[in-house]
Amino acid sequence: MELPPEMAEEADPLMELARELAEVLQPVRPREAYRAHLHRGLVEAAQRKLARQAAAGHPQRIPRRQWMLGAAAVGSAVSVLGVIAYLIHSRHSSRARQVLPS
């Protein structure tokens, strides 16, 4: 990603953090039984919601602004958790290096 020179210097620490996080955090695939259970639960919840909406005669919609605010809050929380995980990992790594004899 190319940035203007005045922004590149400021972005270097963030890009380094992103590279380190990409090395440390590996994707995890859930067990098939969990995925099947989750799928069934989501389908059942959707069916119950549709049944309630049909009984009420009109769909209950979440306003777009609330949806966007909720999504932004979740994204921010995930970002903060990622930084916390990185800090914990780097703290443990530096302690391990200090304990090991050179």
**HEC letters along the chain:** CCCCHHHHHHHHHHHHHHHHHHHHCCCCCCCHHHHHHHHHHHHHHHHHHHHHHHHHCCCCCCCHHHHHHHHHHHHHHHHHHHHHHHHHHHHHHHHHHHHCCC
Instruction: Return the amino acid letter for 97.
Output: R
Give the residue with greater pLDDT, 96 vs 23: 23
- The verdict on pTM exceeding 0.85 is no
Closest alpha carbon to 21 in 89, 94, 74: 89
- In whole angstroms, give the CA distance from residue 48 to residue 41: 11
pLDDT per residue as tens digits for the range 6-29: 777 788 888 888 888 888 888 888
Give the residue with greater pLDDT, 15 vs 42: 42
pLDDT per residue as tens digits for the range 69-89: 889 999 999 999 999 988 888
Q: What's the pLDDT at 98?
A: 60
Q: What's the pLDDT at 102?
A: 52
Q: What's the pLDDT at 38?
A: 94
